[in-house]
Structures are given as structure tokens and as C-alpha cells.
Chains A and B, each alone.
Chain A
Amino acid sequence: MASVWVYAEIGADGPTPASLELLAKARQLGDVAAVVLGPGATDAAASLGEHGAATVYASDDAVYADCLAQPAAHALHALVERHRPDLILFPSSYDARDVAGRLQAKTGSTLMSNATDVVGLDAARTQIAGGTMNVDVALEGPAPKLVLVRPKSFAAEPAGGTAEVVSVEVEIPDELRRARRVERHEEASSGPKLEDARVVIAGGRGLQDASNFPLLDELAGALGNAAVGASRAVVDAGWVPYSYQVGQTGKTVKPDVYLAVGISGALQHVVGMKGAKRIVAINKDADAPIFKLADLGVVGDALKVLPALIAEVKARRG
């Protein structure tokens, strides 16, 4: 039976949702093991087992959290050499992307980014051109095939198993400890998390000025269970922190309603929100690509529509 691994990551509440999503897929493809490195790894094993990992390779060593990429890639490579998996699935987080990129140099195997499905041990699928084309990719060359999977491509599902925990004992030499995290800063926002909110209201350049951005917060407040996001353009411009960013290098959201305000619909934004059940777009430019995705598109000035919408929502909610 094929051996399929998941590179699992740890969040505030155990394994990250993306890690559990990958286990659900891995179960369909072969015997499943998870690799989890850093403080909390051993504690995460129970949940990883419940979601389908028969074996969990775990180390609680702080070096994997304190130093960037190199220690994790080194340990993962040592495990790969020893156990020879056929396929490794990685979540598309910053850190996992870095580890996968480094592992590829060591194994000389193929690495596919942005997969939306894994259809076999050597075949995966992605989308290009703003999600208008599905592309099937054959993965060739030496094992293990490495695939970075986009968030929310699969539904996480407990399978009710228990994992055998194998302690990872790999020596990390000093020369792999040269990039160190010395401070951590969280930029917390109030309200529901972007990924969990039923409504996401995202703003872009069409809002014209950072001082107009609070209109989105006001609408979110009027709706309740709504979170505010942003396009990369306004994050880059410093209007809101990076944690607001929806898209390729930001968050992937699948809310019941996505309201794109003054966002043109660049490809890298669209991949983060096109899974929304309904999409509403407000934009001055009738040719903006976002209108091709929208269930309801409004050609108009967001600064006029938003106050009217806030009043309308407040009136209907009584």
C-alpha cells in the first residue's frame, strides 16, 4: 500500500484546520502518517490520529518553532530517507511552503504549488486564469512527490483512529539555526475570524482612502457575524494590517456572502474568495473582472452605496 504523509502544523488549538483537511484526503490515497514538529507536537498526535494518521512522527523540540525552515526541512528529510513515503501533502502556510521548497532541493523530487485536488499518488489538479481553467498535472521524477494544497480544498473529517506516536530524534546542527525568531507580534482584530464569519466584507482601492475603511467595520457591526477583509493593494498601502488580506498570499474564505467593495478582482485576490456561496461586488468600473464572478454586481460609488446599505441593514434588523 502506498505511503502518504501529511506535514501537519500546530495552531493555538492543536493541529491547524488545513492539516486535518489534508489527512481526510490522504486517507483516500494510502497508509497515512503525519509529521508534526515543534512545541505541542506530541499533544497534537491524538487529534491527528483521530483524523486518519496511523503513525505520527512528532518532536516537541522548540528549535522547530524558533528557527525558520532549515531545522524542519532537515528533520523531514531525515524521516523521508528512512521511511521513503510516496507522497507528502503540505498545507499552503508560509512556513510549510518554505519547508517544502527546501525539501525539494534535498530530494530532487517534484513540488507542485496551489493544488486544489490530489487525484492520485502522482497526479494533482490546480486552477489557473482566475479559476476558469482546471489543469491536471502529472507528477514525475523521484519519490516522494511533494504537493502544497490550497486551504479548504477538502473537508476535515474525524475517522476515529488512534495514532502510534514515533518520537523524532534528529540532531539539528548549529549552522541550521542561523535564522531565528526573536519576537512575535499578533495584530488581533475584533469580531469573528475571517475564516469563520458568515459574511465577509472586503475593501479595495475603490474606497479611495484609508479613512473610508471604517465604513466596512460599521456594516460588519450592523450585520453581526461579519468580518472585514481587504485586497492586497490596500494592505500594501498600509491601510489595514496584513491579517486582513484575502487572496493568494492571504487568507482563503468561503463565507455565505462575500461583499467585494471597490475591489477589481485581480487573480491573486479571486483565488482567496471565489468559493463564497454568493458574491456581491460594488465597483465604479463596469469592466472590472470581479463582476464576472458576482451574483449581484453594482456599478456605482461604494461611498454612496455603503451608507445606504448600512441604514438598510439596520432598518431590517430592527
Chain B
Amino acid sequence: MQVVVLVKSIPDPSGETKLGPDFLVKREGDGVLDPGDEFAVEAALRLAEASDGEVTAVSMGPAGAGAAIRRALAMGAHRAVHVRDDVLHGADALATARVLAAAIARSPFDAVLAGVESTDGYTGTLPMTVAELLGVPSATFARAIEVADGVARIERQTEGGYDVVECALPGLFTVTASAAEPRFPTLKGIMSAKSKPLEELSLPDLNLSPDDVAPTQRVSAVEAAPQKGAGEVIVDDGSAAARIADLLADAKVI
């Protein structure tokens, strides 16, 4: 199987979110592989391993996205495609979907995997836009994927349980964190990542024009949201249970 996995470089989630003067999240320096995407990389590797196939990591991002792409390669992806172009600064989900779909469509594929949503923007719609542009069926929120005879059998989380979905390949699937525990790159994996094929593409390479990726959303204002006043923080000295019960009584729930 030829498996494509979408990977996104995000600012280190343990750091503070910084906005630039254009209200966009600052993406200076090296990013990290979105933790949500690690599950997709793992699921992609397992599908490829089960079928003697290969995994291609596809990413759009600035130069600092290289670290996230190398991480996917170190985990075991066979090759990577990195689309970077100054015109793409501030690209929205539609522009990103057009770029990723164009990059994926350059080679035949059986499955495209992605995280459910990014950890920094959590838009959650991009994979489906990519699926539509590629003209393939899809299932989101997969917690398990198995492939047999060209059909993927997926356990898809729902609001109240899960559905079993059968989908003819090629298809696009987003995977949740319960799909598979991501492997840690081995030293060998990290070393071999440096020699794996990494293709760098610009917008013209994908036959896209700046008009195709013009943003359709503009932040017009940012203001501090009204916050309720800080509450009280106590260190439990044995009296905490009574204090909580007081609050429950005050709220008239006991």
C-alpha cells in the first residue's frame, strides 16, 4: 500500500502562544511535529508494514517545519514532501487544503491519513476539504483501521459510542489518539532520516497561483475576553472537602 500521512509543524505546545502584529500565531524557529499527527504517522506506518507498503509524509510550512518532517521520517516514513513558499505565509485552511491535495495528487496513493485536528489551530475541517479535492471517500475520528482486499474497515468514534465504517480505497481517514500509541524514533531511525528522500516544492511546482491560496479570512480585532475574577486557591489541610461541600450547598446542588 502507498500511504500518505499529512504532518503539521506547530509551535511547541508547552510554550506560550505569541501573536505577531498581523494577529497570526508566530512561527519563528523550529516547530515540533503536532502531537495529534504522531498518531496518524503511527497508523500510517502500521498500514504500510502490514502490506509491505511505503509511507510518504506531506507537509506545508515554513523552513522551521523541517524538524517536524524529520521526526516523521525518524519514526519510519520512507520519504517526505515539504511545500514551502513565502506566498503561503498566513494561508488559511482552504489554501492549505489546495496545496496539500495538489502535492498528494502527484503520485498514486491508497490511503491518506491525518490527525483529527491540529493542536494549534484546531480547525478540524482541513482533511475533509483535501478528501473532496482529491475526490475520495473518507472517515473521520477513526480509532481503529484495518485494510483487507482493498477495503478499509474503520471503527469511527461517535458522540455516543462508535460506528463501524467500510470504505473502498483509495480513501482519507483521520485518526484519534486511541488509534495506536506512537513509536519513539530509534537512534537508527534518526540517523537514517537524514538520508531519506525529502522533496521541497514551491507553489509553481504544484501549478498553483497566489490567487489560489489568497486568504479568505482576516482577523479584524483581538481583545481580551472578559474573565471572571480569580477564585481562591487553598492547599488541602484536611478541610478541603468541607470547603467544596460549602460551595456545592451555595450553588444549591446539595
Chain A interface residues toward B at CB < 8 A:
68-70, 73, 93-94, 97-98, 100-102, 104-106, 108-114, 123, 127-129, 131-141, 148, 176, 178-188, 198-199, 223, 225-226, 232, 235-236, 238, 241-243, 248-249, 251, 256-257, 259, 268, 277-280, 282, 286, 291-301, 304-305, 308-309, 311-313, 316-317
Contact = CB atoms under 8 A, between A and B. Distances in A.
A85 B114 CA distance: 31
Contacts of B177: 232, 236
Contact of A137 (B124, B130, B220, B227): B220
A296 B6 CA distance: 42
Contacts of A188: 160-161
Nearest to B151: A178
A183 B154 CA distance: 10
B90 to A, nearest CB: 13
A129 to B, nearest CB: 5
Contacts of B133: 105
Contacts of B244: 259, 280, 296, 298, 305, 309, 312
Contacts of B102: none
A257 B230 CA distance: 16
Contacts of A249: 116-117, 124, 141, 176
Best-buried of A127, A198, A297 by chain B (most CB within 10 Å) = A297
Nearest to A297: B233
Given A183-B163, A296-B234, A114 B253 contact: no
Interface of B: 17, 23, 92-94, 97, 116-117, 119, 122-133, 137-141, 143, 156-168, 171, 176-178, 214-225, 227-228, 230-236, 238, 240-245, 247-249, 251-254
Contacts, number: 266
A105 B132 contact: yes
Nearest to A306: B241
A301 to B, nearest CB: 7
Contacts of A138: 217-220
Given A135-B222, A138-B220, A259-B244, A295 B128 contact: no
A129 B17 contact: yes
Given A68-B138, A249-B117, A182 B164 contact: yes
26 contacts: A68-B139, A69-B137, A98-B140, A102-B128, A127-B225, A133-B225, A138-B217, A178-B168, A181-B164, A182-B164, A186-B160, A186-B161, A232-B177, A236-B178, A248-B122, A257-B253, A286-B235, A295-B228, A295-B247, A296-B232, A296-B244, A297-B232, A298-B235, A305-B236, A309-B241, A311-B241
Contact of A305 (B93, B230, B240): B240
B233 A299 contact: yes
Nearest to A67: B137
Among A68, A286, A304, residue most surrounded by chain B Cβ atoms (within 10 Å): A68
Contact of A140 (B124, B139, B217, B252): B217
B218 A278 contact: no
Contacts of A139: 216-217
Given A94-B141, A98-B128, A137-B219, A187 B176 contact: no
Contacts of B131: 101-102
Contacts of A104: 93-94, 97, 125, 129, 132
